[in-house]
Amino acid sequence: MSDVIVLIPAYKPEPRLLGFVQGLTAAGAHVVVVNDGSGPAYADVFQAVRRVGNTVVLNHVVNLGKGAALKTGLNHIACEPGGRVGVVTADADGQHTVADVMAVAESLTANPHSLILGARGFEGQLPLRSRLGNALTRRVMRWIMGQKVSDTQTGLRGIPRAMIPRLLVIPHQGYEFELEMLLVCKYEGIRIRETRIQTIYFDGNRSSHFNPLLDSFRIYFVLLRFTFVSLISALLDNAVFAAAFLCWPNLGAAQVAGRVLATLFNFWGNRNTVFRSKEQVARTLPKYLLLVVVSGAMSYGLIRLFSRPGVMDVYAAKILAETVLFFANFVVQRDFVFPGNQPRRWEERADTATSPPLDQRPAGR
């Protein structure tokens, strides 16, 4: 356990935080607690935590958000000398047991290049907001990432040390930071592994500071960028198509004009802001153009099919055809055109990183 530090962001914690920290240190853990601007009323709780051995307490003057607290702790740990494998983050509200934290730490030690998620089974009686929130986010993330993640909102995570610099530049300060962490794994080719943990809630999870309305909106706002570029491209495509068809009522020519301009914008937007591909344009552009040709041919065929006399006009047919192809195009771009870094390439980069070193333990671990 000396190879892993436990990081706990805390905002107005219950007194049970002290017992949790004591249990972790008794199990051999080093602990960093970040007081995220809890205020004078909670000074005694943090003072008691500070007196526990192998424990550091960092402070925010004001409440900055869970993401900000995690980044404060991650930066502190990354600046520490030594060859620790990484960091295990845990919540301060009593949802995680010492045994589960240790299990995630062991999994991280065994898999130092992977992000480890402490995945809850969501069995028994659960608060409705927790069940619905995770179910919806889980399905959206599976579509976005192309990978099944059973617990997207878990706060118990094992983070490789080499991943910390990438996380520190994430701009988000609140709960959406943890969702962005999963997206970083997609972009960087970092494997996600899961360790089953207990599902624990106290008093209907009233001690949680997660606002089911406001914070869920913030989380899903992060996902909107995946559709924003495609929607703008579709609007551009349809606008150019309509203008060209109005000036020269030739379906093929109007289709080509709209597709060319939308293609240029869509490639730039998807490569740089959606999938954040680091591959050279020479490698991604041919695959993208192949998709454009195939998608354009399918779109043309569908428009012809839908715009038959007595079915619908050509403009409605165009919108319907593009809507049908939207989801298919996203999946193809995600997995074929801009697949992100492969896990092996991430592991090779992590092994050769010089600042900070991922692991300085003796060989044969």
Using CB atoms within 10 A of its CB, is residue 69 exposed (0-12), middle (13-18) or buried (19+)? buried
Q: Are strands 30-36 and 4-10 parallel, antiparallel or unpaired?
A: parallel
The string of pLDDT tens digits covering residues 222-254 is: 557 767 887 888 899 889 999 999 988 888 888
With respect to residue 363, please indicate whether it lies within any of the assigned structural domains. Answer: no
With respect to residue 170, please indicate whether it lies within any of the assigned structural domains. Answer: yes
Q: Do 194 and 302 fall within a single domain?
A: no
- CA geometry: angle 127, 223, 300, nearest 5 deg: 130
With respect to residue 346, please indicate whether it lies within any of the assigned structural domains. Answer: no
Using CB atoms within 10 A of its CB, is residue 148 exposed (0-12), middle (13-18) or buried (19+)? exposed
The string of pLDDT tens digits covering residues 141-200 is: 777 667 778 888 889 999 999 999 999 998 888 878 988 898 888 878 899 999 999 877
Q: Do 218 and 281 fall within a single domain?
A: no
How far CA 329 is from CA of 57, 258, 284, 296, 319, in Å, comes to: 48, 17, 15, 11, 15
Q: Give the Cβ contact number of residue 53 at 10 Å.
A: 10
Which of 137 and 162 is assigned the larger pLDDT?
162
With respect to residue 362, please indicate whether it lies within any of the assigned structural domains. Answer: no
Q: Do 216 and 244 fall within a single domain?
A: no
Q: Do 212 and 330 fall within a single domain?
A: no
User: What is the pTM (predicted TM-score) of this model?
Assistant: 0.71
Using CA atoms of 264, 268, 269, 273 in order, give the dihedral in degrees to the nearest 10. Answer: 180
Q: Which of 207, 246, 260, 258 is nearest to 91 (CA)?
A: 207
Cα 37 to Cα 94: distance, rounded to the nearest angstrom: 19
Q: Do 194 and 272 fall within a single domain?
A: no
Q: What is the mean pLDDT of residues 272-288?
A: 85
Residue-number span of the structural domain to which 276 is assigned: 225-340
Q: Do 210 and 170 fall within a single domain?
A: yes
**Residue 362's pLDDT band (cuts 50, 70, 90):** very low
Q: What is the mean pLDDT of residues 48-76?
A: 96
Q: Do 52 and 174 fall within a single domain?
A: yes
With respect to residue 210, please indicate whether it lies within any of the assigned structural domains. Answer: yes
Tokens representing residue 132 in the block? 């619905």
Q: Do 294 and 147 fall within a single domain?
A: no
With respect to residue 358, please indicate whether it lies within any of the assigned structural domains. Answer: no
With respect to residue 118, please indicate whether it lies within any of the assigned structural domains. Answer: yes
Q: Do 192 and 55 fall within a single domain?
A: yes
Of all residues in the chain, the percent with pLDDT exceeding 70 is: 80
**Residue 48's pLDDT band (cuts 50, 70, 90):** very high
Q: Do 111 and 240 fall within a single domain?
A: no
Cα 236 to Cα 252: distance, rounded to the nearest angstrom: 17
Q: Do 239 and 297 fall within a single domain?
A: yes
The domain spanning residue 135 has which CATH number? 3.90.550.10
The string of pLDDT tens digits covering residues 293-351 is: 898 899 999 999 988 887 788 889 988 888 888 878 888 887 888 876 655 555 666 66
With respect to residue 347, please indicate whether it lies within any of the assigned structural domains. Answer: no
Q: Which of 176, 204, 223 is the last residue of a domain?
A: 223
Q: How many domains does the chain have?
A: 2
Q: Do 104 and 216 fall within a single domain?
A: yes
